[in-house]
A and B are shown apart, each in its own frame.
Chain A
Amino acid sequence: MNLDSKIPAGPLAEKWTKYKSTMPIVAPNNKRKLEVIVVGSGLAGASAASSLGELGYAVKCYTFHDSPRRAHSIAAQGGINAAKNYANDGDSIYRLFYDTVKGGDYRSREANVHRLAECSVDIIDQCVAQGVPFAREYGGLLENRSFGGVQVSRTFYARGQTGQQLLIGAYQSLSRQISLGSVTMYNRHEMLDLVIVNGKARGIIVRNLLTGKIERHAAHAVVLATGGYGNVFYLSTNAMMCNATAAWKSVKKGALMANPCFTQIHPTCIPVSGEYQSKLTLMSESLRNDGRVWVPKKKEDAEAIQQRKLKGVDIKEEDRDYYLERRYPAFGNLVPRDVASRAAKVECDKGHGVSPTGLAVFLDFSAAIERYGHIEANKHGNHNPTKEEIKILGEKVVSEKYGNLFEMYEKITGDDPYKEPMKIYPAVHYTMGGLWVDYNLETNVSGLFALGECNFSDHGANRLGASALMQGLADGYFVIPYTIGTFLANEISTPKISPDLPEFIEAEKKVIDNINALLSIQGEHSVESFHRRLGKIMWNHCGMARTEAGLKEGIEMIRQLRAEYHKNVFVPGSNDEYNPELEKAIRVADFMELGEVMMLDALNRKESCGGHFREESASPEGEAMRNDAEFTYVAAWDWNNGNPEMHKEPLIFENVELKTRSYK
């Protein structure tokens, strides 16, 4: 299969502008006649649906939530990057592009990333115009902070709720289009299959989650913005309903899954506390602006903390190992996520972890509180402050910056992070892999587009902080409104697609058969128990460190678990009702197939890059070693009826020199 990325010719910085001005477009009178389905209502989906509606297309938007405002984009805390250079610290579109390509460990497409950096500037303007209440300076201008993997301040934020505020902005734009009649919203509808007619994506099969009714919906094109697949691991920072079904059903219909092994493990999450847990909570990366990560130097100190005989504050300064600052002096606590996560694992594996399970490190704000306290005291003309005064003033600053995160931590753990350092541990957070798309964000299935976390295109093997919101909104507001024209311009004489075509009837029947099959197993174990087992296999065999033997074993285990699932799962109730257990059963079946492909991809990629760390491919100091000669390509997987087959898209770097990624 020839994977044509369709990257426009010309110099990198001019590609998008020139392409936009010369690409085919659809006239307003024809837009009204063309229907577009958008699946998902997060940042990418809501921004795409509203923008396409604004252009005049007849849009239908679907979400499995009760309201489009619930999508998991809402949980993003820290911020959104943009190359505005408001801080006058040397930022530029090129620098954002370069940081993202380097941060992704040279496994993304140059042209896509450069376009992302170009669009980043417009996103901030658009969001401000929508009424997003970003943080501001006293002069009334927008405020910035820093995130991991970069040396400039380019992150815009709205306290610890940036995702919520951006999503509400997109949701409000979407609501406006709904009220104007250009978007029809289908809440509580879950996509269960893609319908392809004569080689083109022409519709979807959905289940009405309230009634169980299976429905056929047709359009001229289908846009998927259905997020990532982190919940394959069971425990992740994803919301409980996040799933891969829409994307995975499309893969089973012929779309390709690109780089599925590229998963991001986020370094700062609240550690697991018990077996009953089904979800992990992230603590924003912004905390690493001011928090220092450490473990006790002496193993006996760590053990005493694990046994609750000592506390973090009892360990003397000279007995603390600020291992990120020690190993990576240039970036310190703000190294990229993959580097920080692996470093935490190394310390905990050596026995220096600080929770009862030994799987946690400290994130400490005492130094920041002291620093800010001094600054504030000076501001108030107090040049001889007492320790107590410094603490009070410093805590006030820290509370203004991170107050809601500290409160959330205390609610969940019962510990006060102003008094005791936070305990954190890495957890699955984001998936860089996703549906293979070309420069137009079109998959290899004609007329099927994928946006946001759902596609693979911009983050390579590791995503930098505050880039997910940027990509979701860039794709939705500023890319798809143009690139969908390259497909739809050839469809202006195509009449309305009928949902009664034989391809729709057949797909509908398969969906119903699949549901009936799951309901009729009536086995012994709950869906949840299978999902938990799947997650353990994935985490142990395809988690932060991967080996050839471990992956081979994991693949066998998943195949067995999948066979057992289809013989022994118990799904209560019927299809004709509101049945969350059935919804879950369909999703978990898909996770089990996708999990296998993730492992196959990890097995194939005999190098360490970004979030993908193969123990066989590491330097003596334990740093990741890429193999550019053999693996500078996108691995795009065809499900091929259960015999997955890999296709390669070579990555060509014309502007950036491939270097060993160093944050030392």
Chain B
Amino acid sequence: MDLNLKLKIWRQKNNTTGGHFETYDVVANEHMSFLEMLDVLNEDLVNKREAPVAFEHDCREGICGTCSLTINGQPHGPNAGTTACQLHMRYFKDGETITVEPFRAGAFPVVKDLVVDRGALDRIVQAGGFVSVNAGQAQDGNAIPIEKERASQSFESAACIGCGACVAACPNGSAMLFTSAKVRHLGLLPQGEVEEEQRVQNMVAQMDHEGFGMCSNIGACEAECPKEIKLYNIAYMNRAYFKAVFTGE
């Protein structure tokens, strides 16, 4: 079935100019993904010699974390646990108007149209989101047994794709969910536990330095996370942080 849609899309030339909404008509097939619908719009714009809408995307399998669209006010759109590239048009109605904006956050400057700069997230990881082990230093993989349940909990935090939807969803523009997922992923494993005190303090300091806001326990981050990273990651990080601050060197 074909859907006749009106798209209100944020257009912004670069990060020094302001932006505005433009309205476009597009006919989409219900089997298309949201990004394929934007492809159709762009092909049409190019054929009309108009500037295509810049949006970032890559794997289109919901795993690379590149897409950064806020659809009808929700990062990655209306479906729970779903990235924009995995959102299909069958969830929209014929005649609907859809608003498309970039991820909005103070720490994510707009590059162009729907593209934002999320380099701040990389810098948080660089501040301590790793285990300090060089290639060649490792012992046998089975030398330290890890409880299945613990490994599985660590995996759930490690499933974060670094898209930044949590930041865009948060009224404070906080990166607590992103940062805490990394702290918990590594902290739950014996290999990562060793450096936890230093890690959590450095990552939190970098997060603050980048201008991300504070957490006020609203929970929008958890609701919008396409990988369903849970709020208890933040509780874990708070505990680790306080422990490090009060008992550390």
What residues make up the interface of A, taking CB atoms closer than 8 Å to B?
47, 50-51, 54, 65-70, 72, 74-75, 84, 86, 122, 124-131, 133-142, 158-159, 161, 163-165, 168, 171-173, 175-176, 178-179, 185, 187, 210, 239-241, 273-274, 276-279, 281-282, 407-408, 411-412, 414, 477-478, 481, 526, 528-529, 570, 572-573, 577-578, 580-581
Q: Does B142 contact A (CB under 8 A)?
A: yes
Cα A129 to Cα B195 with chains together (Å): 13
Cβ-defined partner of B49 (8 Å) among A164, A528, A572: A572
A136 touches B122 (CB 8 A): no
A276 and B29 contact, CB distance less than 8 A = yes
Shortest Cβ distance from residue A178 to the other chain B in the assembled complex, whole angstroms: 5
Known contacts A129-B191, A240-B58: does B66 contact A66 (CB below 8 Å)?
Answer: yes
B46 lies within 8 A of A572 (CB): yes
Contacts A51-B135, A129-B133; is A179 near B127 (CB within 8 Å)? yes
Please state if B86 and A47 are interface contacts (CB–CB under 8 Å): no
Nearest chain-B residue to A133 (Cβ)?
B155
Please determine whether A141 and B145 come into contact, CB atoms closer than 8 angstroms: yes
Closest to B122 in A: A67
User: Which 8 residue pairs of A and B lie closest in terms of their CB atoms, listed nearest first?
Assistant: A140-B145, A129-B138, A172-B130, A125-B138, A133-B155, A128-B141, A179-B126, A477-B135
Query: Beta-carbon contacts of B160-194 to A below 8 Å, as 1s and 0s?
Result: 01100000000000000000000001100101100
User: Within the complex, which residue of B132, B138, B159 is in contact with A128, where a contact is CB–CB below 8 Å?
Assistant: B138
Inter-subunit contact A412/B88 (CB<8 Å): yes
B16 within 8 A of A: no
A274 contacts B29, C-beta separation under 8 Å: yes
Shortest distance between the CB of A203 and any CB in chain B (Å): 25
B contact residues around A407 at 8 Å (CB): 81
B129 to A175, Cβ gap below 8 A?
A: yes
CA distance A577 to B51 in the complex (A): 12
- Smallest CB separation, B223 vs chain A (Å): 18
Given contacts A140-B145, A239-B60, A239-B64, 15 further A-B contacts (CB under 8 A): A54-B135, A74-B59, A74-B64, A75-B64, A130-B130, A131-B185, A131-B186, A140-B146, A140-B147, A141-B142, A142-B141, A173-B135, A240-B57, A278-B36, A408-B86
- Contact across chains for B61 and A577 when beta carbons are under 8 A apart: no
Which residues of chain A come closer than 8 Å to B52, judged between CB atoms?
572, 580-581
Residue A140 contacts which of B148, B185, B186 (CB distance < 8 angstroms)? B148
In the complex, chain B residues whose CB is within 8 Å of the CB of A130? 130-131, 133, 191
Give CA–CA (A528, B81) in the complex, Å: 30
Q: Report B79-116 CB contacts with A as 1/0, cut-off 8 Å.
A: 10110001010100000000000000000000110010
* Chain B residues in 8 Å Cβ range of A281: 60-61
B23 within 8 A of A: no
Which residues of B are found within 8 Å of A273, using beta-carbon distances?
31
Given contacts A75-B64, A131-B186, A573-B51, contact A578 B135 (CB under 8 A): no
Would B32 and A411 count as touching, CB distance under 8 A? no
Interface string of B2-22 (1 = CB under 8 A from A): 000000000000100000000
Q: Report the Cα distance A137→B147, complex, angstroms.
A: 8
Whether B119 contacts A66 by the Cβ 8 Å rule is: yes
Q: Can you list 28 A-B contacts (CB < 8 A)?
A: A69-B162, A122-B138, A126-B133, A126-B135, A126-B136, A128-B141, A129-B138, A130-B130, A133-B152, A135-B151, A136-B146, A136-B147, A140-B146, A158-B155, A164-B63, A164-B161, A165-B155, A168-B158, A172-B125, A175-B125, A176-B132, A239-B64, A240-B60, A274-B29, A411-B62, A478-B136, A572-B49, A577-B112
Partner among B50, B59, B131, B142 whose Cβ is within 8 Å of the Cβ of A129: B131
Given A178-B126, A481-B135, is A526 in contact with B147 using a C-beta cutoff of 8 Å? no
Whether the pair B14, A578 counts as a contact (CB closer than 8 A) is yes
With beta carbons under 8 angstroms apart, the residue of A137, A161, A414 that contacts B63 is: A161
Q: What's the least CB distance linking B49 to chain A, in Å?
A: 7
> With the chains together, A529 CA to B155 CA distance in Å?
41
Kindly list chain A residues whose C-beta atoms are within 8 Å of the C-beta of B141: 84, 124-125, 127-128, 134, 142
Looking at the assembled complex, report how far the CB atom of B168 sits from the nearest CB atom of chain A, in whole angstroms: 15
Q: Which residues on A sit within 8 Å (CB–CB) of B204? A: none
Q: Bound complex: CA of A278 vs CA of B191, how far in Å?
A: 41
| Most B CB within 10 A of own CB, among A130, A135, A241 | A130
- Enumerate chain B interface residues (CB-CB to A < 8 A): 14, 29, 31-33, 36, 39-40, 43, 46-47, 49-52, 54, 56-66, 79, 81-82, 86, 88, 90, 111-112, 115, 117-119, 121-122, 125-127, 129-142, 145-148, 151-152, 154-155, 158-159, 161-162, 185-186, 189, 191-192
A189 to chain B, nearest CB (A): 13
Given contacts A137-B148, A139-B145, contact A578 B131 (CB under 8 A): no
Would you give the shortest CB distance from A225 to chain B, in whole angstroms? 15
Note all chain A residues with C-beta closer than 8 A to B49: 570, 572
Task: List chain A residues, Cβ under 8 A from B135.
Answer: 47, 50-51, 54, 126, 173, 477-478, 481
Nearest CB on A from B103, distance (A)? 12
Minimum CB–CB distance from B111 to chain A (whole Å) comes to: 6
Q: Which of B33, B49, B65, B135 has most A Cβ within 10 Å?
A: B135
B224 to chain A, nearest CB (A): 17
> How far does the alpha carbon of A239 sit from the alpha carbon of B61 in the complex, in Å?
9
CB distance A70 to B66 under 8 Å?
yes
B130 x A69 contact (CB < 8 A): no
With A66-B119, A239-B60, A581-B46 known as contacts, the answer to whether A131 contacts B138 (CB < 8 A) is no
Closest chain A residue, CB of each to CB of B146: A140
A84→B140 CA distance, assembly (Å): 10
A163 to B158, CA, bound (A): 12
Name the CB-closest residue of A to B132: A176
Picked from B33, B62, B133, B162, the residue with its CB within 8 Å of the CB of A67 is B162
Assembled-state Cα–Cα distance A274/B133 (Å)? 47
Tell me, in angstroms, the Cα distance from A217 to B138 when the chains sit together. Answer: 34
CA distance A408 to B139 in the complex (A): 36
A75 pairs with B61, CB closer than 8 A: yes
Select from chain B the residue with minimum beta-carbon distance to A47.
B135
Chain A hits for B64, CB < 8 A: 70, 72, 74-75, 239
Report the minimum CB–CB distance from A570 to chain B (whole Å): 7
Which residue, B129, B154, B192, has most C-beta atoms of chain A within 10 A? B129
Q: What's the minimum C-beta distance from A587 to chain B, rounded to whole angstroms?
A: 13
Could you say which residues of chain A place their CB within 8 Å of the CB of B58?
A: 65, 70, 72, 239-241
- Whether A414 contacts B185 by the Cβ 8 Å rule is no
Q: Are B39 and A276 in contact (CB under 8 A)?
A: yes
The answer on a CB contact under 8 Å between A69 and B65 is yes
Using A137-B148, A140-B147 as known contacts, say yes or no to A414 and B162 having CB atoms under 8 A apart: no
Alpha-carbon distance between A84 and B143 when the two chains are bound, in angstroms? 13
- Taking CB as reference atom, which chain A residue is nearest B47? A526
A66–B138 CB distance below 8 A: no
Pair A528/B138 contact, Cβ less than 8 Å: no
If A66-B66, A133-B151, A172-B130 touch, whether A86 touches B142 (CB-CB below 8 Å) is yes
How distant is the Cα of A355 from the Cα of B127 in the complex, in angstroms? 50
User: Which residues of chain A come closer than 8 Å to B146, judged between CB atoms?
Assistant: 136, 140
- The CA-CA distance from A526 to B50 in the complex, in Å, is 12
Smallest CB–CB gap between B197 and chain A, Å?
A: 16
In the complex, chain B residues whose CB is within 8 Å of the CB of A175? 122, 125-126, 129-130
Let me know if A125 and B140 touch, CB within 8 A. Answer: yes
Q: Chain B contacts of A142 at CB under 8 A?
A: 141-142
Residue of B nearest to A242 (CB): B58
Q: List, in ascending order, chain A residues with CB within 8 A of B155's CB.
A: 133, 158-159, 165
Q: A74 and B126 in contact (CB under 8 A), knowing A274-B29, A414-B88?
A: no
Contacting pair B191 A131 (CB below 8 A): yes
In Å, the complex CA distance between A381 and B75 comes to 47
Minimum CB–CB distance from A580 to chain B (whole Å) comes to 6
B29 A414 Cβ-Cβ under 8 A = no
> In the docked arrangement, what's the CA distance between A136 and B148, Å?
5
Whether A276 pairs with B40 at a CB distance below 8 angstroms is yes
* Residue on B nearest A171 in the bound complex, by CB: B125
| Least Cβ–Cβ distance between B155 and chain A, in angstroms | 4
